[in-house]
Amino acid sequence: MNRADVCVVACAEVFRGDGEILAAGIGGAVTVLGARLARLTFEPDLLTSDGTCLLTGDVPALGEAPEVVEGWLPFRDHLWLVLNGRRHVMLGASQIDRHGNTNISCIGDWSRPRAQLLGVRGAPGNTRCDPTSYWIPRHSPRVFVPEVDVVSGVGTDRGAYGLRRVVTDLAVLDLGGPGGTMRLVSAHPGVSVAEVVAATGFELDVPADVPETRAPTAEELRLLDEVLDPRGLRHREVPEPRAGRAGAGGGAGAGEGAGAAGGAA
Amino acid sequence: MGKVMTVEEVVGRLESGMTVGIGGWGSRRKPMALVRGLLRSPLRDLTIVSYGGPDVGMLCAAGKVRRVVAPFVTLDSIPLEPHFRRARQEGSVEFTEYDEGMFMFGLLAAAHRLPFLPTRAGLGSDVMRVNPHLRTVRSPYGDGEELVAVPALTLDAALVHLHRADRRGNAQYLGPDPYLDDLYVKAAAGAYVSCERLVDTADLLKEGPVQSLLVSRSMVTGVVEAPGGAGFTACEPDYGRDEEAQRRYVETPWEEYVRSEQG
């Protein structure tokens, strides 16, 4: 079991109970694998896409074309679906605050940014209209900030439809703290609560008893290794932590991270 | 009546200060032959309305743009567009930043000649803060919900690239996604379609079903045959994105890139 496997399973878990809606994983290998793994195991009615506009009848490996297509979702219909709401999306964020407000637009003053990022993409509509979760591959104080520079995705204090989970390379969090603030749900195996707190740049609600994030089952590991990600792309997104350093604060370009995350794309 | 034009003739119909919508999405099926025509022109102070990709980046780099209206600017396989980035960080372009769904409603409003369309997308976000011109409306029905009134994105001109067209401007897409190209055309006073290949009207349905006829000649001002005219962006099934050319665009200083393109 690697850290990447734990993260994929934690991402799959965000879709538990969602039923027959689109599980949209945006932002690299881990979120897409999470959606597909959930569909192949405990949430078989989920809809998943090929990353463009095909709803797949089967559940192909990362980067592989589907053999069966069950539907068509071009961008215009994706934008309709966002307003309709039968969709749970897992977005990325370059910054996130304790109410789950997120930024993918730019760093610094919006009128003359220090670093222009993607733009708000579909984050405002996604978060206002759909259940939303986040995947943050580098849990650090550069990402978990007291205040985001540009609110792209709205948080619990700005009318979010429903923020479910925030999964990082260190832990699983939700917005179940006092007043809809961020709460530690579980720490990944090998990660201490103190490490998570140190990597979070605002006050985190920490329950007295913090469980360990559940380990992947043997069947989940087999599906990841043999069916969904035989090339191991998830391990590039989540490198195995070195002893004594669980990945906090590394933050190589965390401000510019989150890649193409955030949109309806 | 035939409407076949050259790229230069299309560019000659445009004026400085116009609002120009550019079809495609990110680095996918952008009308790059027409965009390169704009780069060579004396036009300036354009307002560019786009799900932005290298079209926005190149026009910013060439100093053609006063304002960008977009929900994002990206090259897809390369997330951040270098020239748009620099323009924003240097403060050389104004920016109207909308949510993706708001942007579509702006085009839909213009296409239907409505002043605005209401939506929930944008509420609560800083899109409302950084666009102080935006207003909200309250539903006149029992729910009384407050919604964003997205103003019509009415265009002086639309530029789109499709796969096939006839000489009168009926145009067809053969790829998996139409993007919003028909909406740009319907939202514009003048619409210009470049295509991979001009075909006889009678041959349009030989390559795709009737549903692939995305744009009607009644909405089109000019047609340009431009094989490879979306490159280096993706134009499946005719060709995919030329990743090497896109990388070269990103890594080469702009003046040098322009020289190499001309050479």
Q: What percent of chain B has pLDDT over 90?
A: 98
B263 touches A: beta carbon within 8 Å: no
Instruction: Convert the pLDDT of each residue in A46-68 to its tens digit.
Output: 999 998 899 999 999 999 999 99
Q: Which tokens in the block code for residue A187? A: 């720490």
State the CB neighbour count (10 A cutoff) for residue B259: 11
Q: Is the confidence at residue B251, as pLDDT, over 60?
A: yes
A50 or A249: whose pLDDT is higher? A50
- b/e A225-264 (16+ beta carbons within 10 angstroms → b): eeebbeeebbeebbeebeeeebbbebbeebbbbbbbbbbb
- Chain B residues with CB inside 8 Å of A72's CB? 176
Answer for the pair B161, B225: CB distance below 8 angstroms, yes or no: no
The Cα–Cα gap between A165 and A102 comes to 13
B87-106 residues touching A, CB cutoff 8 A:
88-89, 91, 97-102, 104
- Cα A234-A74-A28 angle, rounded to 5 deg: 10
Instruction: Convert the pLDDT of each residue in A195-231 to its tens digit.
Output: 999 999 999 999 999 999 999 999 999 999 999 999 9
CA proximity to B153, closest of B100, B216, B214, B84: B100
The third-level CATH classification (topology) of the domain covering A3-239 is Glutaconate Coenzyme A-transferase (3.40.1080)
The Cα–Cα gap between B94 and A51 comes to 32
The Cα-based distances of B83 to A84, B32, B58, B118 in angstroms read 35, 16, 7, 33
- Chain B residues with CB inside 8 Å of A63's CB? none
Amino acid (one-letter) located at B138: R
Give the pLDDT band (50/70/90) at residue A26: confident
- Mutual orientation of helices B32-40 and B54-61 as an angle, nearest 10°? 10
Burial class (CB in 10 A: 0-12, 13-18, 19+), B118: middle
Instruction: Convert the pLDDT of each residue in A142-200 to its tens digit.
Output: 999 999 999 999 999 999 999 999 999 999 999 999 999 999 999 999 999 999 999 99
Check residue A190 and give left, alpha or beta (phi > 0: left; psi -120 to 50: alpha).
left
Residue A257 is predicted with a pLDDT of 39
Q: Which member of B52, B100, B126 has the closest CB to residue A125? A: B100
Give the pLDDT band (50/70/90) at residue A1: confident
Residue A25 is predicted with a pLDDT of 79
A243 or A23: whose pLDDT is higher? A23
Q: Do A160 and B123 touch (CB under 8 A)?
A: no
Instruction: Convert the pLDDT of each residue in B70-107 to its tens digit.
Output: 999 999 999 999 999 999 999 999 999 999 999 999 99
Q: Which member of B85, B89, B176 has the closest CB to residue A53? A: B176
Q: Of the CATH numbers 1.10.10.10, 3.40.50.300, 3.20.20.70, 3.40.1080.10, which one belongs to the domain with range B7-257?
A: 3.40.1080.10
Average pLDDT, chain A: 92
Q: Is the confidence at residue A242, as pLDDT, over 80?
A: no
The Cα–Cα gap between B238 and A248 comes to 45
Q: Do B25 and A123 touch (CB under 8 A)?
A: no
Give the pLDDT band (50/70/90) at residue A27: low
DSSP notation for B37-71? HHHHSS--SEEEEESBSHHHHHHHHTT-EEEEEES
> How far does the CA of residue A151 sit from the closest CA of chain B (Å)?
5
- Residue partners of B106: CB distance under 8 A and separation at least 6: B98, B117, B150, B151, B152, B153
Using DSSP bridges, classify how beta strands B19-22 and B155-165 pair: parallel, antiparallel or unpaired: parallel
Q: Is the confidence at residue A263, as pLDDT, over 90?
A: no
Q: Which tokens in the block code for residue B221? A: 């001002």
Give the pLDDT band (50/70/90) at residue A252: very low
Best mutation target among B68, B100, B130 (most A Cβ atoms within 10 Å) is: B100
CA proximity to A159, closest of A99, A78, A80: A99
CA proximity to B162, closest of B172, B151, B154: B172
Residue A28 is predicted with a pLDDT of 83
Give the SS3 label for residue B31.
coil
Q: Is the confidence at residue A264, as pLDDT, over 50?
A: no
Using DSSP bridges, classify how beta strands A171-177 and A181-187 pair: parallel, antiparallel or unpaired: antiparallel
Instruction: Convert the pLDDT of each residue in B152-181 to its tens digit.
Output: 999 999 999 999 999 999 999 999 999 999
Q: Which member of A106, A124, A151 has the closest CB to residue B121? A: A124
Burial class (CB in 10 A: 0-12, 13-18, 19+), A144: buried
How many residues would you count in chain A? 265
Distance of CA B128 to the CA centre of its chain: 23
Q: CA quadruple A112, A116, A118, A124: dihedral positive or negative?
A: negative
Q: What is the DSSP letter of B18?
A: -
A67 sits in which H/E element? none
DSSP notation for A121-158? TTHHHHHHHSEEEEEESS--TTTB-SS-SS--B--GGG
The average pLDDT across B203-209 equals 97
Answer for the pair A121, A264: CB distance below 8 angstroms, yes or no: yes
The Cα–Cα gap between B44 and B59 comes to 9
Q: Do A263 and B89 touch (CB under 8 A)?
A: no
Q: Which member of B102, B120, B176 has the closest CB to residue A54? A: B176
DSSP notation for A182-251? EEEEEE-TT--HHHHHHT-SSPPB--SS-PBPPPPPHHHHHIIIIII-TT-HHHHHSPPPBTTB-STT--
Q: Which tokens in the block code for residue B124? A: 């609560």
Give the pLDDT band (50/70/90) at residue B127: very high
The Cα–Cα gap between A126 and A129 comes to 5
